[in-house]
Amino acid sequence: MYDWLFNSIAYADGLDDVMFKINKVILNPLIEMSFVVALGVFLFGVMEFIRGADNEEQRSKGKQHMLWGIIGLLIMLSVFGIITLLTNTFGIQGVRVNNKEQTFTAPPIQELVLPK
C-alpha cells in the first residue's frame, strides 16, 4: 500500500534527497491538513458562539473551541517556521515548503589572522 513511499525513500541519492522526499510526501501534507483542521475547529467555535448567543454554556463551549483553534493554528505556524529555519540553516537544497523552494547560500569563509 505504501510501497511508492518507501521505494522513493530507499532509492534516494543522498541525505538531501531523503529529506526532500520526506518533506514532500509526509510533512507538507500533514502540516496542510493540520492547518485545515485547526481552522475548522476555530470556525466551528465561532458558529457555536453565535448560535448560542442567549445560552452562556453554548458561548463558553464556543470560546473554548475558538481558543483551541487559535492554539492549533499557532502551533502549525511554528512548525512551518521551524522547518523553514532548519532547511535554511543546514542548506538543504530543493526542499519545498508550501510550494516555495527554500535555498541557502553560505557566506564565504574568511581567514582569521591573530595578532602576535
Residue 70: per-residue pLDDT = 95
Residue 107: per-residue pLDDT = 59
Cα distance between residue 97 and residue 31, in whole Å: 10
Residue 94: per-residue pLDDT = 57
What confidence category does residue 108 fall into, taking pLDDT thresholds of 50, 70 and 90?
Answer: low
Q: What is the pTM of this model?
A: 0.61
What confidence category does residue 79 fall into, taking pLDDT thresholds of 50, 70 and 90?
Answer: confident
20: CB partners within 8 A, 6+ apart = 92, 94, 95, 96
In a domain, 77, yes or no: yes
Contact by Cβ (8 Å): 39, 75: no
The yes-or-no verdict on residue 21 having pLDDT over 70 is: yes
Residue count of the chain: 116
In a domain, 1, yes or no: no
What are the cell numbers at 6? 518507501
Number of structural domains the chain divides into? 1
Residue 116: per-residue pLDDT = 73
Q: Which residue shows C-alpha cell 492547518?
A: 35
- Mean pLDDT on 17-37: 80
Domain residues for the domain of 71 are 12-96
In a domain, 103, yes or no: no
